[in-house]
Structure 1
Amino acid sequence: MSQGSFVFSPTALRSLQLDEDMLERHRYRKQLATHQLNGYLLKKEARERVTRTLVTATAPAVCHDLVIQNALYTGDKEAVQRVFPKGARTNLIIEPQGGDMRWVARGGGLWSLTYEQELTTPLHITAGRGFTECLRHLLLRGASVDLSPGGSTALHEACQSCQPECVKLLLSYGANANALSEDGLLPLHMCTSPESIECAKYLLQFGAAINGRSLDEDDTPLHVAARNGLLGHTELYLRYGAALDKKNDEGKTPLNSACSHPQELQDLERYLRVCRLLLEAGADLHAVDQDKQSPLHMACKNVNPEVVDLLLARGACVNEMDYGGQAPMHNILKVVCYKLSHKPERVVRSLLNHGSIRVWPGALPKVLKYCCGSPRTIEALINAYTRIKVTDDWVEAVPPEVFKEHQEFYESLFSLSESPRSLQHLARWKLRNFLDGRLIEVVPKLNLPTFLNNYLLLESRDYVH
């Protein structure tokens, strides 16, 4: 036997045979597995190919046909029926001409000024313009009810344009009442005007989420209704169980939103009614936003005297400070000159009558400079002191044209540099100081003559004495 060789015993031969059999079975299983995997991959590829084909076949096509566009934009029912006969494709994407100009990057690093196009569909066009019969025809022809090439659905468009019949029709054909737009808004968030109340009703009837949140601002529909001073919407949402205590990303409740939104003179009454309704429903008048601004802070900033009186009557804290150390009185004094038509002196008087902190006497010349256009505001502030030191700085703070317009008042004010306040005023100040925070509660119970009652509560006389 050669060196390095060895004799196989029967046991060793049997072991080798078993190993060979095991390897053979392993190769067989591997072959089988490979065959099955290849078959699965082939079938998967075939299925995906079919899916891609179907998607390609049903994907919306871009429409440049001006005849079709003209029929849609004019709401010509007969023309729409002709261009969309039975079997015609209704899921079209349309690029309206015009729009805002914007810079667009081109190849080679070049930029060009072009129109910003917003993609739309036949459904969007007809729904947004209230062409109900045209919309119905498109839906009957199979138009995709939730198609949103421009970032919002036709339902969003109909709600924004206040088209209740189109909203109802879209919902009855299966439109998603809780569809989110590209901007993260629900259809209910698009109901921002009094005329959209019927749209909101249909949405809620078809299951719209009453407390649904917008993605960016985290607003509920009640936030939107309160912010826009929509009394009908607010009543509707409260009946459907809208939450009063939900805060948005700025920490504002619906009541905060109503008080903080800029208000024109003609809108003050609407916002008052919305705030009263929210408070009667249980809204927290002490809720503050992320800057610790209360509803009273916000109502003072927007100079809504009736809302200020409402909040104070219900117990709002007149001297609560925000993160910047500002009380409601600071907020009103910063906007007096911009809101003269809103009668800011009424807000100042209400705050003082409820125990507001007064302006530091050394800062009165600065306040006079910015608030001189409202002499009644200055009068209320001055009457909160027993005595003040009128200097040349006071005279210089009032521009000549303002002095001329309100000459009688400012002459009486500047004369205080030479004479003390009257005994009548000192008696008023003493009584007000004694009653302090109980002034509003006590004075009406004294049964005083109207003149004295108003005098104690700092009603304007257009001069100081």
Structure 2
Amino acid sequence: MSGGGSFVFTPMALRSLQLDEDMLERDKYKKQLASHQLNGYMLKKDARDRVGPAPMRTCTYVRPPAVCHDLVIQNAIYTGDADAVQRFFPRGVTSNLIIKPQGGDMRWVARGEGLWSLTYEQQLTTPLHITAGRGFVDCLRHLLQRGASVDLAPGGSTALHEACQNGQPQCVKLLLSHGANSNAVSEDGLMPLHVCTSPESLVCAKHLLQFGAAINGQSLGEDNTPLHVAAQNGLPGHTELYLHYGAALEKRNDDGLTPLNAACSQPQEKGDLERYTKVCELLLTAGADVNTEDQDKQSPLHMACKNINPGVVDHLLAHGACVNTMCYSGNAPMQNVLKVVAYKADHKPERVVRSLLNHGSIRVWPGALPEVLKYCCVSPRTIEVLLNAYDRLKVTDDWVEAVSPEMFKEHKGFYESVFSLQHTPRSLQHLARWKFRNYLDGRVHKVVPQLDLPTFIKNFLLLEFRDYVH
């Protein structure tokens, strides 16, 4: 053992490890080559079990793939050198090859009998996978013309999965036209539609559906449908496409989530909010149940408030979301948004809080306002909306201490207006607004827009932001 605590291998030990690695690799290749036909069969069988019987195809003999160690050939394939690929694969030469990518991370692998060996953690691939995933259409076409097995999956997934995952629509169409199984199930239990997770894969999804991909096929393990995947990844184009093909709106995955639940619960960065808003709008317009709860009794509104997506919240409320439903943890949607304001102030949480209050949300217990002020002071407008839901406030020194000096300095005018309420009552104008809103009792969002009043008064009644309290 060295001073740094690392283990020192002797030359004899290193030689032994090298022999172990070589033996392990030979065994691995034997198993892969012996079972490649079984892999292909199982992929097709899983697909049939998931989506139903398919038309019978003519059985043809496919020569078992060989292992390609030639770096020149590998380089031509990885770089998409069409001329070289045509030279290396002339008529009569098999293109069914297995390639072991160079490199990878070392890991310990159990060999049985308590023996362990160091080996590279690598995944076998084929020329078809490489060219399909990288968009080398000419190379892919040539390999297919030379008899490459279109559904071969030595690494657990087909070339079609690879093309879809990397958003290569031309390669997807080419593979499908050569008989690729549009419902092949990978080792991870995913069909090609399940790996269409980027905006660039939209045309890939269209080709798959045109060639018979199962629109409601569920992934193994997670039970996600393609619509779940589109919702989770905030893909409005895919969502619209799947709905056009009759995707099921209320099918639940293994976590009990419908596609709408999945879209609302997915963590969202500021730049993602608009995409997820569009996805939810499409699902709600198509008739998705706005109040379907997950296993923890969280509704889509709970989840959208936790992610602070104002657009989604507005659509959910417009479609009748219950604003005061409690989940198993005892939180209403209002509590969910207030808990994360400090982390997502740039998501405009004040818009969410205002929408909830205008739709009749319960308010914060007055005694908890100093605590709310402490954690939400980074968003003065959120504080403003909350405080304008009360006719009177008992402002104390605790309120002053709850606001950090940095936030007070940055928003001095606003917080001075709040602290001044310690000695002065609310204005008559605000009290009239509070009385009117209290009378409507949750119908503010319906009644106020219909009143024959100037726009600025309507906005005032709907808790428009003024950046001070009075």
Give the TM-score, by structure 1 length.
Answer: 0.85
1:192 counterpart residue number: 197
CA distance in 1, matches of 2:435, 2:106: 66
| Helix, strand or coil at the partner of 1:455 | helix
Residue in 1 that maps onto 2:20: none
1:351 matched to 2:356? The reply is yes
Q: Which residue of 2 aligns with 1:390?
A: 395
Q: Structure 1 375/207 Cα, relative in aligned 2: closer, same or farther at 3 Å?
A: same
2-side partners of 1:234 and 1:272: how far apart?
Answer: 12
Aligned residue among 132, 139, 145 for 1:140: 145
Superposed counterparts of 1:179-258, under 5 Å: 179-258=184-263
CA distance in 2, matches of 1:121, 1:224: 27
Distance in 2, matches of 1:378 and 1:102, equals: 53
- Tell me, which stretches of 5 or more residues in structure 1 are unaligned? 1-51
1:62-211 equivalences under 5 Å are: 62-104=67-109, 115-211=120-216
Report which stretch shifted further, 262-271 or 437-446.
Answer: 262-271
Q: Which residue of 2 aligns with 1:36?
A: none
* 2:324 is the alignment partner of 1:316: no
Cα deviation, residue 391, structure 1? 1.9
The equivalent residue for 2:336 is: 331
Question: What is the rounded CA distance, in whole Å, between the counterparts of 1:107 and 1:201 in structure 2?
Answer: 47
2:267 aligns with 262
Deviation per residue, 1:275-308 (Å, 9 max, x gap): 1111111111111111111111111111111221
2:419 maps to a residue whose letter is F
SS in 1 for 2:91: coil
Q: Could you say what secondary structure the match of 2:98 adopts?
A: strand
How far is the alpha carbon of 1:403 from its aligned partner?
A: 0.9
1:434 counterpart residue number: 439
1:59 partnered with 2:52: no
Give the AA of the match of 2:139.
Answer: C
Closer, same or farther: CA 461–111 of 1 in aligned 2, 3 Å: farther
The residue type paired with residue 435 of structure 2 is K
Instruction: Note the alpha carbon deviations across 1:402-440, whole angstroms, 9 max, x for none.
Output: 111011111111122222212221111111111111111
Structure 1 residue 188: Cα displacement: 0.3
Distance (whole Å) between structure 1 residues aligned to residue 296 and residue 252 of structure 2: 13
Per-residue CA deviation, residues 333-357 of structure 1 (Å, 9 max, x unaligned), is: 1111111111110100010011000
**Following TM superposition, by how much is the alpha carbon of 1:105 offset from its aligned partner in structure 2, in angstroms?**
5.0
**Which has more radius of gyration?**
1
| Cα distance in structure 1, aligned partners of 2:448 and 2:176 | 58
Kindly provide the CA deviation profile for residues 32-79 of structure 1, in whole angstroms up to 9, marking residues without a partner as x: xxxxxxxxxxxxxxxxxxxx9x98994322221101100100111111
Amino acid at match of 1:159: C
The alignment of Structure 1 onto Structure 2 pairs a total of residues equal to 414
Residues 1:423 and 2:419 are matched in the alignment: no
Q: Which deviates more, 114-123 or 212-221?
A: 114-123
CA–CA separation in structure 1 for the residues paired with 2:458 and 2:82 = 69
Match in the other structure for 1:380? 385
Is 204-213 or 380-389 further displaced after alignment?
Answer: 380-389
Task: Tell me the amino acid that sits aligned with residue 93 of structure 1.
Answer: I
Aligned residues: percent identity? 77
Residues in 1 aligned to 2:331 and 2:165: alpha-carbon distance in whole angstroms: 38
- Runs of at least 4 residues of structure 1 off by over 6 A? 54-57, 106-113
1:405 is matched by which residue type in structure 2? Answer: E
Q: Within 2, Cα distance between the matches of 1:110 and 1:370?
A: 54
Residue matched to 1:278 = 283
The 3 A distance-change label for structure 1 pair 405 and 110 is farther
Aligned CA distance change for structure 1 residues 112 and 386 (closer, same or farther; 3 Å):
farther
> Distance between the aligned counterparts of 2:288 and 2:469, measured in 1?
40
CA distance in 1, matches of 2:422, 2:82: 79
Go from structure 1 to structure 2 and tell me whether the alpha carbon gap of 1:373 and 1:114 turns closer, same or farther (over 3 Å shift): farther
**Residue 408 (1) aligns with residue 421 (2):** no
Which residue number in structure 2 is paired with residue 31 of structure 1? none
Deviations 1:134-170 (A, max 9, x none): 1111112111111111110000000001111111111
* SS of equivalent residue, structure 2 residue 441: helix
Distance 1:113 1:414, change over 3 A: farther
One-letter identity of the residue aligned with 1:397? A
CA distance in 2, matches of 1:102, 1:375: 52
**Relative to 1, partners in 2 of residues 1:102 and 1:373: Cα closer, same or farther, differing over 3 Å?**
farther
3-state DSSP of counterpart to 2:443: helix
Partner of 1:334: helix, strand, or coil? helix
What is the Cα deviation at residue 268 of structure 1?
2.0
- Alpha-carbon distance in structure 2 between the residues aligned to 1:108 and 1:407: 71
> Post-superposition shift, 1:115?
4.0
Cα distance in structure 1, aligned partners of 2:116 and 2:465:
62
| Counterpart Cα distance in 2 of 1:424 and 1:388 | 15
In structure 2, the residue matched to 1:307 is 312
Q: Deviations over 1:165-186 (max 9, x none)?
A: 1111111111111111111100
Matched with 2:30 is: none
Q: CA deviation at 1:86?
A: 2.3
